[in-house]
Structure 1
């Protein structure tokens, strides 16, 4: 081939050589400068699925909000490394510097030579190339010019060519709204120099974007929203002119990108002082300040200073630096002390989608101090904006109080009673958070559960949030229940001391330092599951009365109803772990040890029942034998149980290993048994009723009476769903037992159940289910017996509880109760509440000289009939 022919061949095809062309081959400049950092950009699983789905349905077009060489390169690199459709062209973006050297020269020649051979009436070729590329089935990148309110000829031309391409082809064109985030910094309304250099990059110049990207390249993410199908778009907008179509398409794509950004980093954040100023301008807060000034006769300025003092105590001081610090600390924690966090991915997608549409409030259960930052960490890793966390003022201890505040915590006092100004100021702060579209997190139980069960909901903060919503703080609000669970918790020993009667100690920084011993232990996995969200707009619309028309009592009922729905939803999505199931397997009996075969048999019965109820099991249950073996190993390693060995002295019974559970360790396991006990409650109540009767045939009426007795007695122990009929609950359990061959159901009128007959090993197999609540029966028995101390006269709360604990210890030593976990301060307290509800005992508060708080005094009712009836009935179950 002659030189002229080679030159002619090399120059051919220049009409498709543009500065926006992208090639599979990397340029030297790309390899030297950016290739390594581009490969660090994270592509979430949800984005991978979204792009793959779009690619299977049509031609993929990536739409970014701002013209950007860097974002174009990020999309190109992600496409290459994740198998996405590779973009071949970036409209209105000069990528010349990043093209391979030979291609770069051809692009320059095309720029110089082609205009000479093109008539003035010709259509601009770069614009037409978008249309041509898409018609060939190639992916391209278009930008949207930041705002649909700002006219941009290049943007309009690019979108116009996409629409023309779709008109001319049958295969759908899917435009993916694409967001590149450089780190997770929120945009600030008034930006500091640091945020200008290292903040988000929307609407910024190239230098700032590049600086930020290099600073946060390992935290940068590529996110894609739901695509716009242009074939469907054209069909739905036929009546519009071409210009109107382009405007609508541009606006729709920008809106979807903005929603992704809001879901990821949240809305623009005001400074702490600006938030405080907004609260102080609130009309109700102003009225409260004026009222306080009039009451204390010190005037408005004095009351204003008091309100500011409260706000300085309450308000968060969110700092991105601390979020990044916690990312490193907690990442190390979950992978060194724990074996990782197992997350409900579908639930996270649900939260993310909701966060695009409305402010949300996450309401987790509360098991550990680690909870305060666990959810923020998980949201951070799943590209969800992090919530502002309500924490008690007990967490303001130095120096972690300041750290928590910088991490998004805001603080509230345990009680607002007698301080109307504080209450209005706090309400005002909640109002501002919701008006600004910021997510909130709070623990509906108030404090950490020391027992492993859900604590009855507290309605104070919930009611304030609902009031803020109802007053117009936001158009809609999602309340999202969240289950946080641990194979084992780091506060285990502290909880055991409190359950044994010791006073709760205030949090101190030294406690955290002393807990360094935990760094040498392993605590299994952490679990995060998302419950069914409550959407306040539709929820309130479904009520018989509007919120504004509800009297105070009706509103209180509404708060209680929503509170119970939240905790029921948390219970519903709680997870069965090998540790919780194994704890139940050890504690159903009062024996000191159990053989491996017996243990596996009982665990099999428990697992079958839970599976029938469609309860969630942890991922570690893929192989039950392996899961149980691993859990046994961790229990042994922690000296909770010990392996006795093979029973070589009993060859006729075979060689069988036995695990021994020391009495002093039963309360440790009780915590983890309680994590899943709510799933067993209906079956345990029924099993306890069956175990009570010696006859094999029981009437349904007898079972129902016992069931309702337990439900009434344990109303403060377990959270019952009042929407489910008692009879229906029992029927479900009986049908399960019937399928397993444990009972035969005797029919009654209209196909109902009249009686049951226990069959074969039915009673033996039901004993473990009854055993799961036996310690609660024993605890209540102790308190019923302790009521005799009140016959001689009333007793202060502290003295009465001391007598109850002493009586429990003596009854345990004498064998009148057989389970050490029954000696629980929490169980005793709930039993006292039940007896108070029954009118058997009563409590009054009196002010006593020398005491900081009112003293509670317990006394017994003069009518002892109810107490005697309860004592006799309870004794039957022992």
Structure 2
């Protein structure tokens, strides 16, 4: 600590500064104790045998490369993060396999009382507050030098590059705070670090109930994690539910970080990537490289992950269109899904059909709990009686295997759009559409061929829309990914090709002829096969992605609350969207309750900010307009999207790929409803109007009045006594810099922007607004084609390598 302060500040050490540095170091640093680790491993072994009676499975062949890498340099373990016990499992694994005990990054809120001391004795080190708040350079320097010292001495480090726990069950986008420091050390010291991606798969997650409450918006994530009520509830639940199935710890091939970074820099300095390298500063290059490493590590985690039996059973239960299913049919569907995963190159846990009954009785059907994921009626399993919360919990298991079907799912959504268009025009009078009322499944018929050129255009849009939800395949061009996916679907018998292009069409294509080649020969059109197996397969692909489309559609629909010229805090906006989603669900305008998942709605808001549809305003505590706490941002629509027609165009664009609503198959429902999109917009407009009329007048930011404000004081004898005047002088009318909006001024979720004479300085309509980054939606879709995103810190399109990290 003394050398850090002496080297970074002044040769003469300030004793007060040194004392502060020592205090911060003591709060941050960990000191592994071998005896504590041995004692803890004994209790952990007993705990694992109790919680996971079907074992913790590790592929022995994947351990040998890690042992070899540990002899050549320090290890950076990057496991997926789904539960609080992830770090315990990884530490226990290292101890049992004679690997170095890693230093584990931890949140400072866990550094409390005896728990913090035990965690430090096991190797945990905590992020300092000043580093997280970005207010003091000393915290950053201490953290950077601490990481450098650990790597210089050859210690292993375990960090969760996803940041917080994934409450949705799937892998999140990487956070590069820790990776930037490791990359900087490798570039400066010319030494290597081996990145070890680790995937942790659970049959049942211990904190599933708490994840569900956070996703549904019933409790705040930070408050709920620290509440004694949640700890007591989890403890009592563990005493009754003692079977959580099995755990699979899968290890990918270690990445030599020095070689990987050298290849990335080489690709950036080529003729195609030189412009990217020149346009970035040193910090930008380090961040770009760290982001590339993060995506590569998470992609490898997905590749080596194993599909758990509970995830397969939950997926089959949630995808049923009937009211019930017997056990034999359930086992048959689970084995079908298992074979489908294997055909997509995935890995499935080795289990027998008899283990499915174990999953039903001991894992998905808890002894105590609010939700009942298995509902029995004689020999049948009732799948049509799930409550909205139970459907959301089942979706957490589906998300564990959703990364295996991303490419096929996006293409299936495009094919479903074509079917939906044909079905809507099959019965021209809307009132006669009720003839499908008795049909539970989609009608079986031959679909029209869709041109590959149009399919690629829709795939680009969907991949841009969902790019914050999934980790796409790196180092793969968009056209190559689409070609390989279509060939796979053709091998599975799901799609078939149409006739080849005619001579006149080939001449019209000109130079684009090679772009429409898929596989062998010229194939310009594709459609879903008319067999029942093909229809069921492609609808299954689309089914597991519809809830994400509904979430983004719900956010686009919720922009009506920001009309005209209104602002809302992001937390209030997300809460309002969840209440609106519940209302639309019970009104029949939304079939999938899982669409109100809080994490997905937050991702959708972040995406539309990147698209330039909404923006956030600075608030008190904001550091020069950046690094704003996500829950405290104040949102408003950009001027180009203040027009209602632009918002309706965005909603209609996403609506094209959504699932057809069940309610519109009923004649009674069609008496009062005509259009899915129009009816939903009417409901949201009515709700927004009611909120505006019922909300109190908007509060203003704290500003002084130019005149002295009278103040009344009560007296014991008189009801009202004399008037005192405020002695404070009046401030100047003209201010050089506008004061940021105080968060406490938002007493209502709606803040109307009044004329300049009565509004705060930030809301002045006289001041020019910055030009928007994007054009309105209609020209945005036609001209940009969603291929011009060049932000290296945002996820690029599905399969697109020209804009994607290597």
Q: TM-score range by the shorter chain?
A: 0.5 to 0.7
State the match for 2:8 in structure 1: 288
Pick the structure with greater CA Rg.
1
Given the alignment, which residue of 635, 653, 656 partners 2:364?
A: 635
Instruction: Give SS of 1:724's match.
Output: coil
Asked if residue 423 in structure 1 is aligned to residue 140 in structure 2, the reply is yes
Given the alignment, which residue of 208, 216, 233 partners 1:500?
A: 216
CA contact (8 A) 1:690 1:763 kept: no
Distance in 1 (alpha carbons) for counterparts of 2:16 and 2:214: 42
Instruction: Give SS of 2:162's match.
Output: coil
Instruction: Give SS of 2:105's match.
Output: strand
CA contact (8 A) 1:642 1:661 kept: no
Distance 1:604 1:515, change over 3 A: closer
Distance in 2 (alpha carbons) for counterparts of 1:365 and 1:810: 35
Asked if residue 531 in structure 1 is aligned to residue 283 in structure 2, the reply is no
Given the alignment, which residue of 776, 779, 784 partners 2:548?
A: 776
Asked if residue 717 in structure 1 is aligned to residue 469 in structure 2, the reply is yes
Distance 1:485 1:357, change over 3 A: same
Given the alignment, which residue of 576, 579, 582 partners 2:307?
A: 576
Deviations 1:282-338 (CA, angstroms, capped at 9, x unpaired): 4xx4333439x9xxxxx7111111111111011112112210121112101110011
The Cα shift of 1:480 comes to 0.9
CA contact (8 A) 1:365 1:484 kept: yes
Asked if residue 732 in structure 1 is aligned to residue 484 in structure 2, the reply is yes
Distance in 1 (alpha carbons) for counterparts of 2:543 and 2:173: 24
Distance 1:561 1:756, change over 3 A: same
State the match for 1:362 in structure 2: 77
CA contact (8 A) 1:416 1:422 kept: no
State the match for 1:683 in structure 2: 408
CA contact (8 A) 2:317 2:383 kept: no
Distance in 2 (alpha carbons) for counterparts of 1:512 and 1:855: 27
What's the RMSD between the two structures over aligned residues?
Answer: 2.7
CA contact (8 A) 1:684 1:769 kept: yes
Given the alignment, which residue of 514, 519, 524 partners 1:754?
A: 524
CA contact (8 A) 2:360 2:374 kept: no
Asked if residue 797 in structure 1 is aligned to residue 514 in structure 2, the reply is no
Distance in 1 (alpha carbons) for counterparts of 2:261 and 2:374: 54
State the match for 1:540 in structure 2: 261
State the match for 1:158 in structure 2: none
Distance in 2 (alpha carbons) for counterparts of 1:529 and 1:662: 33
Distance 1:589 1:692, change over 3 A: farther
CA contact (8 A) 1:316 1:408 kept: yes
Given the alignment, which residue of 39, 45, 58 partners 1:331?
A: 45
The Cα shift of 1:855 comes to 3.9
Asked if residue 858 in structure 1 is aligned to residue 659 in structure 2, the reply is no
State the match for 2:386 in structure 1: 662
Distance in 2 (alpha carbons) for counterparts of 1:725 and 1:400: 48
Instruction: Give SS of 1:480's match.
Output: strand
* Correspondence 1:176-325 to 2 at 5 A: 279-282=1-4, 285-290=5-10, 300-325=14-39
The Cα shift of 1:857 comes to 1.0
Asked if residue 551 in structure 1 is aligned to residue 282 in structure 2, the reply is yes
State the match for 1:346 in structure 2: 61
Distance in 1 (alpha carbons) for counterparts of 2:322 and 2:120: 48
Distance 1:637 1:307, change over 3 A: closer
CA contact (8 A) 2:324 2:381 kept: no
State the match for 1:104 in structure 2: none
Distance in 1 (alpha carbons) for counterparts of 2:228 and 2:170: 27
Instruction: Give SS of 2:450's match.
Output: strand
State the match for 1:874 in structure 2: 654
Instruction: Give SS of 1:753's match.
Output: coil
Distance 1:462 1:780, change over 3 A: same
Deviations 1:498-542 (CA, angstroms, capped at 9, x unpaired): 101121224367754553221331111111111122212222333
State the match for 1:818 in structure 2: 591
CA contact (8 A) 2:365 2:373 kept: yes
Distance in 2 (alpha carbons) for counterparts of 1:794 and 1:512: 37
CA contact (8 A) 1:593 1:661 kept: no
Distance in 2 (alpha carbons) for counterparts of 1:377 and 1:696: 56
Distance 1:666 1:498, change over 3 A: same
Distance in 2 (alpha carbons) for counterparts of 1:444 and 1:343: 22
State the match for 2:769 in structure 1: none
Distance in 2 (alpha carbons) for counterparts of 1:528 and 1:360: 17
Distance in 2 (alpha carbons) for counterparts of 1:373 and 1:331: 11
The Cα shift of 1:352 comes to 1.0
Distance 1:592 1:702, change over 3 A: farther
State the match for 1:93 in structure 2: none
State the match for 1:433 in structure 2: 150
Distance in 2 (alpha carbons) for counterparts of 1:805 and 1:592: 27
TM-score, normalised to structure 2, is 0.68
Distance in 1 (alpha carbons) for counterparts of 2:96 and 2:634: 51
Asked if residue 380 in structure 1 is aligned to residue 132 in structure 2, the reply is no
CA contact (8 A) 1:588 1:770 kept: no
**In the comparison of the two structures, how many residue pairs are matched?**
578
Which runs of 5 or more residues in structure 2 are unaligned?
Answer: 270-276, 420-446, 502-512, 623-627, 659-806
Distance in 2 (alpha carbons) for counterparts of 1:469 and 1:665: 47
CA contact (8 A) 1:835 1:841 kept: yes
Asked if residue 585 in structure 1 is aligned to residue 316 in structure 2, the reply is yes
The Cα shift of 1:784 comes to 1.2
Instruction: Give SS of 2:64's match.
Output: helix
Asked if residue 481 in structure 1 is aligned to residue 197 in structure 2, the reply is yes
Distance in 1 (alpha carbons) for counterparts of 2:322 and 2:561: 31
The Cα shift of 1:791 comes to 0.4
Distance 1:823 1:386, change over 3 A: same
Given the alignment, which residue of 589, 609, 613 partners 1:836?
A: 609
State the match for 1:149 in structure 2: none
Distance in 1 (alpha carbons) for counterparts of 2:493 and 2:473: 28
CA contact (8 A) 1:646 1:658 kept: no
The Cα shift of 1:420 comes to 0.8
CA contact (8 A) 2:299 2:473 kept: yes
TM-score, normalised to structure 1, is 0.62
Distance 1:771 1:600, change over 3 A: farther
Asked if residue 763 in structure 1 is aligned to residue 535 in structure 2, the reply is yes
Instruction: Give SS of 2:377's match.
Output: strand
Distance 1:779 1:599, change over 3 A: farther
CA contact (8 A) 1:744 1:756 kept: yes
Instruction: Give SS of 1:290's match.
Output: coil
State the match for 1:396 in structure 2: 111
The Cα shift of 1:740 comes to 2.6
Given the alignment, which residue of 671, 675, 679 partners 2:396?
A: 671
Which range is displaced more, 500-509 or 355-364?
500-509
Instruction: Give SS of 1:859's match.
Output: strand
Distance 1:581 1:859, change over 3 A: same
Deviations 1:757-786 (CA, angstroms, capped at 9, x unpaired): 322222233111110011111112211111
CA contact (8 A) 1:452 1:671 kept: yes
State the match for 2:745 in structure 1: none
